[in-house]
């Protein structure tokens, strides 16, 4: 029997598709439903490695956690990782297959739709319900003819669609009405309702607008989700990096610890610092200013999808001098994956940038060679300095070889990982700061080197905090969504006879496009 399905589309990127999908997954999981998330095509530099070594969007990994399911490649069969404004790496079912520009990717889409539909069908055979997340907006009329993530997916798989809009940005009624009115009649027939996200204030003030929207479109507003601060769920893209994390409380010790994360143009897996933001008394901010990097107690150079190009960008901004000054003063610097590679003496890259041999920042004694094959894994080990157990994940083309310095971790396979010289730390492993005992030990060392009277909170649990936040999303769905209507959509599909809202877009010859 094929499972029920639903597509959560959005009026824009960052409208709330990811969190609503996760919330519905958690709500259904708490009801005992075997549910899985799905995103046919994801464009993100924030990814995750599954247990069997496949790379998927990190948002889908979080949604899988919300569903209490093991993340797998089928949940995000197509992942695009931009390396520039014009080129992206295509990751298909967890493994890279091509580097494409917009036009060559367009030609690849028919094959990708077939793969996406097969992945979705496989999930629907093994789960009771699949909650699908769209990408961007379903009303990108210039892209509709080869769409595989929004209405193209909904049409091919027979999915009812709900459209979510972010009222905090303003213009949500125009965005919802306009989204529907720019779809063809056949696409409109699948759009069954709207959800308003991030509302602040008295819902009674919103009621007249909701009634008018329903009158104009013939579709109900299925819920108004209130603004909730402090969720800090994994970012789908870089749009949320400009927002400072909400404080989780004052410091346990006498002073706070200020962390400056370099906002690289092609930053990847910036969620590595989320665990730091969770700590009471730790203030995390993203910046591209040298003065902020110099002033912080800890500077973090995160991962990058374009290591050599982002290294050049660092130099144009004077950030290389700021990091070097910190190292010379014995003030803490942490490099992760691409950031770690930049801290070395040399990078040999004929794969990602094609730049050949490039000088690194020279702050750690190591060299990096880019290999055609991407390393994907879920390594584990023990911190050499304190003995704390660490589990992590790795995603990189760059192979790092330290020539001296102290290793950070003894790996379970008998090797070592990472490098440290003085107050400069580096590792290819993502997620190490999510290990509570190691994070506390690391922060204590940072505070000591920074001369701060900061004490890590003893009871902070990253895993427990994430579970609590996913439960908040489940609560939002249960308390503020018309869950009975959602269940009807899952059981019966889109209601028949939904009215057409003009002007509409011309119908796409789907059979011809995907032949």
Handedness of CA 10, 15, 21, 26 (dihedral sign): negative
* Residue 273 DSSP symbol: G
What are the contacts of 239-245 at 24+ separation with CB within 8 A?
A: 239/13, 239/14, 240/14, 241/267, 241/270, 241/286, 242/286, 244/284, 244/285, 245/277, 245/284
* HSE toward the beta carbon, residue 365, CA cutoff 13 A: 8
Are 473 and 66 within 8 A, CB to CB?
Answer: yes
Active site annotation includes 337: yes
C-alpha to C-alpha distance for 173 and 196, rounded to whole angstroms: 9
Instruction: Please tell me which residue in 396, 397, 430, 514 is annotated as part of the active site.
Output: 430
C-alpha to C-alpha distance for 159 and 177, rounded to whole angstroms: 20
Q: Which of 90, 95, 75, 101 is nearest to 21 (CA)?
A: 75
- 507 alpha carbon, distance to own chain's centre: 33
Q: Which of 343, 340, 447 is nearest to 395 (CA)?
A: 340
Find tokens 């549910």 and name the residue: 35
* Residue 31 DSSP symbol: T
C-alpha to C-alpha distance for 150 and 10, rounded to whole angstroms: 9
What are the contacts of 98-107 at 24+ separation with CB within 8 A?
A: 105/80, 106/146
Instruction: Please tell me which residue in 25, 132, 177, 337 is annotated as part of the active site.
Output: 337
Are 296 and 423 within 8 A, CB to CB?
Answer: no
Active site annotation includes 419: no
Could you tell me which residues come within 8 angstroms of residue 381 by beta carbon, excluding any fewer than 6 positions away? 389, 390, 409, 410, 411, 412, 417
Handedness of CA 421, 425, 427, 433 (dihedral sign): positive
Between the two ends of the chain, the Cα-to-Cα distance in Å is 27
Are 372 and 427 within 8 A, CB to CB?
Answer: no
Residues serving a catalytic function are 337, 430
């Amino acid at each position: 029997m094929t499972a029920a399905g639903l597509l959560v589309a959005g009026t824009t990127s960052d409208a709330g598709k990811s969190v609503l999908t996760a919330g519905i997954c958690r709500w259904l999981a708490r009801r005992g439903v075997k549910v899985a998330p799905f995103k046919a095509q994801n464009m993100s530099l924030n990814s995750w490695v599954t247990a069997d070594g496949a790379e998927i969007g990190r948002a889908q990994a979080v949604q899988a956690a919300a569903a209490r399911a093991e993340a797998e490649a089928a949940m995000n069969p197509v992942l695009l990782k931009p390396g520039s404004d014009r080129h992206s790496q295509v990751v298909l079912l967890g493994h890279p297959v091509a580097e494409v520009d917009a036009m060559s990717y367009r030609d690849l889409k028919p094959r990708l739709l077939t793969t996406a539909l097969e992945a979705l069908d496989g999930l629907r055979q093994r789960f009771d319900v699949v909650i699908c997340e769209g990408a961007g907006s379903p009303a990108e009329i210039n892209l509709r003819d080869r769409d595989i993530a929004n209405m193209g997916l909904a049409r091919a798989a027979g999915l009812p669609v709900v459209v979510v809009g972010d009222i905090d940005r303003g213009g949500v009624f125009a965005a919802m009405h306009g989204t529907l009115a720019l779809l063809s009649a056949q696409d409109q027939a699948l759009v069954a309702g709207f959800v308003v996200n991030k509302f602040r204030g008295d819902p009674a003030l919103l009621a007249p607008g909701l009634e008018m929207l329903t009158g104009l479109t013939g579709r109900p507003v299925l819920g108004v989700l209130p603004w909730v601060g402090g969720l800090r769920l994994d970012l789908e893209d870089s749009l949320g990096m400009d927002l400072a994390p909400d404080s989780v409380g004052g410091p346990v010790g006498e002073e706070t610890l200020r962390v400056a994360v370099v906002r690289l143009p092609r930053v990847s897996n910036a969620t590595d610092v989320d665990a730091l933001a969770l700590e009471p008394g730790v203030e995390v901010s993203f910046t591209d200013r040298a003065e902020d990097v110099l002033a912080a107690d800890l500077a973090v150079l995160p991962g990058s999808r374009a290591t050599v190009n982002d290294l050049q960008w660092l130099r144009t901004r004077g950030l290389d001098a700021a990091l070097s000054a910190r190292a010379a003063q014995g003030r803490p610097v942490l490099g992760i994956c691409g950031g770690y590679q930049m801290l070395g003496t040399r990078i040999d890259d004929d794969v990602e940038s094609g730049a050949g041999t490039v000088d690194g920042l020279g702050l750690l004694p190591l060299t990096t060679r880019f290999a055609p094959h991407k390393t994907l894994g879920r390594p584990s080990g023990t911190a050499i300095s304190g003995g704390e157990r660490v589990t992590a994940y790795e995603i990189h083309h760059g192979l790092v070889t330290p020539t001296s310095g102290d290793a950070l971790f003894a790996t379970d396979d008998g090797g070592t990982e990472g490098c440290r010289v003085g107050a400069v730390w580096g590792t290819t492993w993502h997620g190490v700061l999510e290990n509570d005992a190691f994070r506390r030990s690391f922060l204590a060392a940072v505070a000591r080197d920074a001369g701060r009277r900061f004490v890590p909170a003893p009871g902070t649990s990253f895993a427990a905090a994430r579970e609590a936040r996913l439960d908040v999303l489940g609560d939002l769905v249960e308390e503020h969504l018309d869950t009975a209507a959602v269940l009807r959509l899952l059981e019966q599909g889109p209601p028949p006879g939904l009215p057409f809202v003009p002007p509409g877009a011309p119908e796409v010859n789907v059979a011809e496009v995907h032949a």
